[in-house]
Amino acid sequence: MDSTTNLEARRRRRWNQYQRALPQIQALYDELHQRYPNAFFREADKVVPLKKGMHRELSAVYADSPYTARVIRGALNRYARRYAYLQALAAGKPRIDLAGETVDTVTAEEQQMAIVELTTTGKQRGRARQTDKAKVPAEGASLVSGTSGETVTEAQVGTVTEAQDERQPATAQRKTPSKRRGQSDEVDKAEGQTEEASLVTGKADKSKG
């Protein structure tokens, strides 16, 4: 088995592990917003960067809970990959702890990395919306001709409202990649393979879950 095949096999395992953990990740994500309302925000304009190493602190808090290190990382990754979170980084907003107190600053390098990711995300969204809009005439024709029972919704033409900001980079929102390569890319995005996610979740410490 060559190195490429080994890499794909590992990514498939990671994807399966991530899928199995999704219900707990979602549950913890919601719980963090309820338990720490001064640190985790639904409203895009209130989001600010979390302190570095937040994973270690939450691991201590949830030491006796069913949530594993992988689940905690997953919930934090989801938050740190929000579009609003990247905007907060790019703006250089101060980092906060679980109580909402300022504990650190965002470095110029971290700001620049967030700006680059926002630019990339914007381009990805633009391409995705163009693709979705291009499909609408064909779908509309199907509706008129009676060959399709489906209706075209706002979501299908790429409409995104501010209320939907649990906004993450577009590639992170795909749930079921149709090709092996798409699956590999999705695993990397879903697990938050960004410098910021590593800083917040402590993944650089290689803690196991």
CATH of the domain at 64: 1.10.1710.10
User: What pLDDT is stored for residue 112 in this prediction?
Assistant: 96
Residue 204 DSSP code: G
pLDDT of 127:
72
Cα distance between residue 50 and residue 95, in whole Å: 5
Distances (CA, A) of 159 to 18, 43, 151: 28, 18, 15
In this structure, what are the phi and psi dihedrals at residue 130, rounded to the nearest 5 degrees? -60, -40
Q: Give 43-95 as a DSSP string.
A: SGGG--PBPTTHHHHHHHHTTTSS--HHHHHHHHHHHHTSHHHHHHHHTTPPE
pLDDT at residue 207 in the model: 39
- Distance CA(201)–CA(204), nearest Å, equals 8
Q: What is the pLDDT of residue 201?
A: 64
pLDDT at 163: 40
Q: Which residues contact 63 (CB under 8 A, 6 or more apart)?
A: none
pLDDT at 111 (0 to 100): 96
Query: DSSP readout, 130-166?
Result: HHHHHHHHHHHHHHHHT-------GGGGT---GGG--
Q: Residue 49: which domain range?
A: 3-205
d(CA 1, CA 14): 18
Write out the two tokens for 172: 């992170």
| Helix, strand or coil, per DSSP, at residue 107 | coil
What per-residue confidence (pLDDT) applies to 113? 95
pTM over 0.85: no
What is the count of structural domains for the chain? 1
- How does pLDDT run along the chain (209 residues), one tens digit per residue? 577 888 899 899 988 988 999 999 999 999 999 999 999 999 999 999 999 999 999 999 999 999 999 999 999 999 999 999 999 999 999 999 999 999 999 999 999 999 999 998 877 777 777 776 666 555 444 334 344 333 323 232 222 333 445 544 444 444 444 444 444 444 444 444 456 666 776 554 443 44
